[in-house]
Amino acid sequence: MSKTKTLFFCQSCGYESAKWLGKCPSCRSWNSFAEEVVVKNESTKNEWHTDSSKSKMIKPKTLGEIESAREVRIDSADKELNRVLGGGIVPGSLVLIGGEPGIGKSTLMLQLGLSLKKTKVLYVTGEESEQQIKMRAERLTTKTSENFFILTETNTKNIFLAITQLEPQLVVIDSIQTLHSSLLDSVAGSIGQVRQCAGELMKFAKETNTPVFLVGHITKDGMLAGPKVLEHMVDTVLQFEGDRHLAYRILRTTKNRFGSTSEIGIYEMQGHGLREVSNPSEILISQKDGPLSGATIGATIEGNRPLLIEIQSLVSVASYGTPQRTPNGFDQKRLNMLLAVLEKRCGFRLGTQDVFINMAGGIYVEDPAIDLALCASIISSMEEIPVSEKICFAAEVGLGGELRAVNRIEQRIAEAEKLGFEKIYISKFSQKSIDLKKTKIEIHTFGKLNEAFNHLFR
């Protein structure tokens, strides 16, 4: 039997070589060669020809000529996952779920498979034995599903054999780094293998309209050969993150062809699997006896969901040289900017203080509406004046110390009201878009950071 021809290509410039090279002679990048299967063209002639018999079959269409397919999605019984995917699993989609080892990717996929009672699921694992999967499944649920099948296999050819026999309606591959295709000589997990296997699975997904989930390991810096090169091949990239030592896990999309990338799903890892957290604001606000200086609550929006998040600050005199500015769950540069605004526009002497910031629940907040809450939290800690836990904030802070309007203010106010807050501090420029009479919560509007502080700390 003749072996398929494979060649090595530099991933950054496309240089071709018959054997693996450590350094590309052309673009000089290191460790950039990956093995690929080469398919010879039947003709070496130019692709451009005026032969009209062929061009009749390949005919471009207008949008009107294309029949619009009704979008049917598989409802995954997991509301958080549905939301993150943009409303359910799209048939024929290839979804990559990445995350650090031990974060709970296998658990999430196993739970998904077991919850889809009416869909035939094939769970292919190259990492764990059948017994291990069974033990884990028993932890997750007491009922077994008749439609859930497990295969421990790493060779793509055998996997496709099993798929042809079983005809599953959803396939989970755990993990893509353990698969290998016999068409390539390189070891499982190398860039070439990962890409080849994902390519084969993509072809399968698109041709049979079966959704495929690929699990991929990523280290903190997102390195590790594999998932990064896959990101442009797949339809959706999910990132499962969180601190392994904390119970909360966040599922985000970094790419989604079928929905928004700003949605997040929140889970809690428990003794018997992942629990969906449907009211995240409750967990993001810590329980404590009475108000504490340095703790405030910001009304943010993640995706389409309003979230009330607790911010804690600790401001103390810097005892060694340069003061430290350590934000946890917030952008360092933005913190520096806000500190400069507090110093210059409001006259607080923060230059000699260490500032530590912590967002509750290990969440990373990008919404600028958190600015006012963050500033209030810093000043509260510095001045040792607690802020009542019945107050929340939603405004962006500008370089002039002015409070700016934020988007979807009604939604934030409604969430704060729902959770029993008594007051919300917003920008006066947000005021025109809201109907003040309809709300029970007291709305305080300010134009400047100073005015808000005078009202809050007087």
Chain contacts with ligand TYD (rule: CB under 6 A) = 99, 101-107, 136, 139, 269, 271-273
Q: Which of 252, 179, 250 minimizes the C-alpha distance to 212?
A: 179
Binding segment for Mg ion (CB under 5 A), chosen from 21-29, 89-97, 101-109, 374-382, is 101-109
Cβ atoms of 396 and 372 closer than 8 Å? yes
Pair type for strands 403-404 and 396-397: antiparallel
Q: Which of 106, 125, 154, 281 binds Mg ion (CB under 5 A)?
A: 106
Min CB(271)–ligand TYD separation in Å: 6
Q: With respect to ligand TYD, which residue has the nearer C-beta, 24 or 264? A: 264
Question: What does the alpha-carbon distance between residue 200 and residue 299 come to, in Å, rounded to a whole number?
Answer: 45
Q: Which does 226 bind (CB under 5 to 8 A by kind): Mg ion, ligand TYD, none?
A: none
236 binds Mg ion (CB under 5 A): no
Q: Which does 259 bind (CB under 5 to 8 A by kind): ligand TYD, Mg ion, none?
A: none
Q: With respect to Mg ion, which residue has the nearer C-beta, 100 or 396? A: 100
Min CB(345)–ligand TYD separation in Å: 46
Tokens of 312: 């804690």
Q: Which does 103 bind (CB under 5 to 8 A by kind): Mg ion, ligand TYD, none?
A: ligand TYD
Tokens of 185: 């000589």
| x/- letters, 14..53, toward Mg ion (CB under 5 A) | ----------------------------------------
What's the Cα-to-Cα distance from 78 to each of 75, 193, 222, 239, 286, rounded to whole Å? 8, 32, 27, 16, 26
Min CB(102)–ligand TYD separation in Å: 5
Q: Which does 333 bind (CB under 5 to 8 A by kind): Mg ion, ligand TYD, none?
A: none
Min CB(125)–Mg ion separation in Å: 8
Q: Which does 273 bind (CB under 5 to 8 A by kind): Mg ion, ligand TYD, none?
A: ligand TYD
Q: With respect to ligand TYD, which residue has the nearer C-beta, 126 or 327? A: 126
Min CB(363)–ligand TYD separation in Å: 19
Q: With respect to ligand TYD, which residue has the nearer C-beta, 104 or 211? A: 104
Q: Which does 345 bind (CB under 5 to 8 A by kind): ligand TYD, Mg ion, none?
A: none
Q: Which of 444, 104, 60, 391 minimizes the C-alpha distance to 268?
A: 104
Min CB(205)–Mg ion separation in Å: 21
Q: Which of 55, 8, 54, 6 minimizes the C-alpha distance to 32?
A: 8
For 347, other C-beta atoms within 10 Å of its C-beta total 8
Which run of H or E residues covers position 333?
helix 332-346
Tokens of 147: 């439609």
DSSP 349-380: --TTEEEEEEEGGGPPP--GGGHHHHHHHHHH
Question: What does the alpha-carbon distance between residue 210 and residue 380 come to, in Å, rounded to a whole number?
Answer: 54
Q: Which residues bind Mg ion (CB under 5 A)?
A: 106
